[in-house]
Structure 1
């Protein structure tokens, strides 16, 4: 048994092993971008521009919806989807308490109020029972997030919303290609929203987003909102605003790059599934570690891998989970395993959204989200490429090596200061 790298031993993950670059940029991607540059149509409003509508048609076909609107970012996609539904000042939108802050920002940018629902402890997605409890007289929509690439429990969530006649908007920013009961994310609610950030499973060369819907009226509203409230021109652009709108257009360069990447999305997803499952099979044998749970009715896109720590199984009963996480984080990183905390606090604790709510109230009303922040570690981006299997195998070596030295981990965890996510918020 070799010594831990933290104590001078060799790293479990050799230097240079990192899963490869992401996104993978091929000659075909470069040629797609070069064709746009040489063609001279560098904005989506240029006469004769075809790349943006081609991406929209391709993604609508991929998801299985009638329409798609390509926009400037995933956050813009959310804001436009909510705007198309007429969400405005004072309207409440139920969102999960654990997700990227863009979900709540989009609600605020429409003038709405994000109302936070706790998550399920096994899927990390919105808990339908808590979402039902969050409904009020001013609720105008429900906005579940397919966090990390796993679809939320859409059957129960759609039922909760339908009983009140509420639309469901999917935040599928991390879930390209995932499915619930055979239906792709983005085709499950009234509208679906995707990000094309370079860190995502379907990337662009900059920023971009996609909105999907089967509704012709919502499609028309989204198209207008994307471009200053103007209607699509029959011939020449009129610059006549028919409703308040944004400049949230995507560029042809970004659209061409993403459409080229889309051709490889299924192959990359298949390779990722194989590599991640093999990695998790090894980690699942380690006591005190819970690998992601994937219900039988859905598939996972594996944008992020989140691992839950169970202190009691590590002979650390009574030690705060955050202390165990910090000890494991330090030891694993020293071995070359690129784990991260990801979110440092649930959304209702962020100063931007907390208002007069105390951190103690947040802890009391969103216990699962708080426990997830404190007691989990994440693997991001390093596993996305099609050749990441070797890196994931090395990362599994790192976990197994650390688990051979749990005595030191226990001593480190017990020596950690008693602090949790509230310390990170208060110290911001």
Structure 2
């Protein structure tokens, strides 16, 4: 049996007729960007998140970059975030000329530890950028309190948490701007690249709309220097179809995660947790094992694909060496990065596939050679 980490074809088979009709309608109109489907998706997704405004963009990276620009973050400013995330989080900060400042994580949720933020504040700090990682929200209430006291912006990187909630509110609706990647493998994914920002601030929404379209409200009249970061109509059409299924798909992910956890808790030392104030939507189902490379090879031999999100924290990446961090600076982040493994997770997993994964995880861990005995 072969079980991929993500099976996009399995999902496509359940919605392909709706998708084909939606794409045919776009191609019949030939209104290919900033058209009616983009507007409809922006409104629908913003409402889903509990926000007034949605601004579709061309990628999650652009969502973060434009959100920082809209908030006036630029050269000389500092943005506090985590090193346990995809590099796009840091690229966005660097692209606006600001400096990322890393804070360690809660080792159970893998998200920004609020208790460590105050010590990282300086007169140059302008924003907090928490990442809702793997589908679990960051602990927002203390972060928002810090931001209020210090006069900081809060930009949420919700790229892996479409539909997750914090104290009953959708992620993305808690800070100044929520940023989502709509990369094809996400809980809500386009058929290619796409992203969206959500906000309740009319002025920020208007600035984001200009920034994504060459700094203009009216064609060929440019009020500021923006970029080409528009969401195209084909992707918006696909996303409108898929948004109708997001809650159902998230519920399936949660059911699969419950199955994994119930059957692995006696074998796997570190399973995903869900805080009492959160819902988890399992973009990834992440466990920790000691003999990770051997464990993954054994699962691969059994036909089961796995992933590592993420093997080398950003503060230790060559691209971030200019920031001056050293190994040991973020001990929780580094410890988790050495052990995390992502198991197959997508809504269309069958009971047979889930059972097989669980059986092979048990067998593989039993075959792994303890480090001390090698």
- TM-score, normalised with respect to structure 1: 0.83
How far residue 367 of structure 1 moved from its aligned partner, in angstroms, is 0.5
Question: Contact conserved, 1:327 with 1:413, CA < 8 A, in 2?
Answer: no
Deviating beyond 6 angstroms after TM superposition, the runs of 4 or more aligned structure 1 residues are: 16-19
Q: Tell me the residue number matched to 2:247.
A: 266
Q: Tell me the residue number matched to 2:90.
A: 104
Q: Tell me the residue number matched to 2:11.
A: 24
Question: Contact conserved, 2:310 with 2:340, CA < 8 A, in 1?
Answer: no
Closer, same or farther in 2 for the Cα pair 1:70/1:17, shift >3 Å? closer
1:210-250: CA deviations, max 9, x gaps?
1000001100110110111112x3xxx3x111112111001
Q: Tell me the residue number matched to 2:361.
A: 399
Question: Contact conserved, 2:6 with 2:185, CA < 8 A, in 1?
Answer: no
Q: Tell me the residue number matched to 1:11.
A: none
Per mean C-alpha deviation after superposition, the further-off stretch among 212-221 and 384-393 is 384-393
Q: Equivalent of 1:77, from 49, 63, 68?
A: 63
1:130-164: CA deviations, max 9, x gaps?
22222111011000000001000111111222220
Closer, same or farther in 2 for the Cα pair 1:411/1:183, shift >3 Å? closer
Question: Contact conserved, 2:162 with 2:180, CA < 8 A, in 1?
Answer: yes
Q: 2:336 is paired with a residue of what secondary structure?
A: helix
Closer, same or farther in 2 for the Cα pair 1:17/1:356, shift >3 Å? closer
Q: Tell me the residue number matched to 2:206.
A: 220
Q: Equivalent of 1:349, from 316, 328, 337?
A: 316
Per mean C-alpha deviation after superposition, the further-off stretch among 66-75 and 262-271 is 262-271
How far residue 36 of structure 1 moved from its aligned partner, in angstroms, is 0.1
Pairing 1:16-415 to 2, within 5 Å after superposition:
20-22=7-9, 24-25=11-12, 26=15, 27-44=17-34, 49-231=35-217, 233=218, 237=219, 239-286=220-267, 288-309=268-289, 321=290, 324-355=291-322, 357=324, 362-379=326-343, 382-403=344-365, 406=366, 408-410=367-369, 414-415=373-374
1:362-397: CA deviations, max 9, x gaps?
322100111011122112xx4213344432221111
The gaps in structure 2 that reach 5 residues or longer are none
Closer, same or farther in 2 for the Cα pair 1:203/1:76, shift >3 Å? same
Q: Which has the larger radius of gyration?
A: 1
1:305-335: CA deviations, max 9, x gaps?
11123xxxxxxxxxxx4xx222222222222
Closer, same or farther in 2 for the Cα pair 1:333/1:252, shift >3 Å? same
Q: 1:149 is paired with a residue of what secondary structure?
A: coil
- Root mean square deviation of aligned Cα: 1.7
How far residue 16 of structure 1 moved from its aligned partner, in angstroms, is 6.2
Per mean C-alpha deviation after superposition, the further-off stretch among 129-138 and 90-99 is 129-138
Distance 2:308 2:71 in 1: 34
Distance 1:105 1:58 in 2: 29
Closer, same or farther in 2 for the Cα pair 1:111/1:389, shift >3 Å? farther
How far residue 412 of structure 1 moved from its aligned partner, in angstroms, is 6.9
- TM-score, normalised with respect to structure 2: 0.95
Distance 1:23 1:137 in 2: 51
Closer, same or farther in 2 for the Cα pair 1:411/1:296, shift >3 Å? closer
Q: Tell me the residue number matched to 1:313.
A: none
Question: Contact conserved, 1:196 with 1:204, CA < 8 A, in 2?
Answer: yes
Closer, same or farther in 2 for the Cα pair 1:411/1:269, shift >3 Å? closer
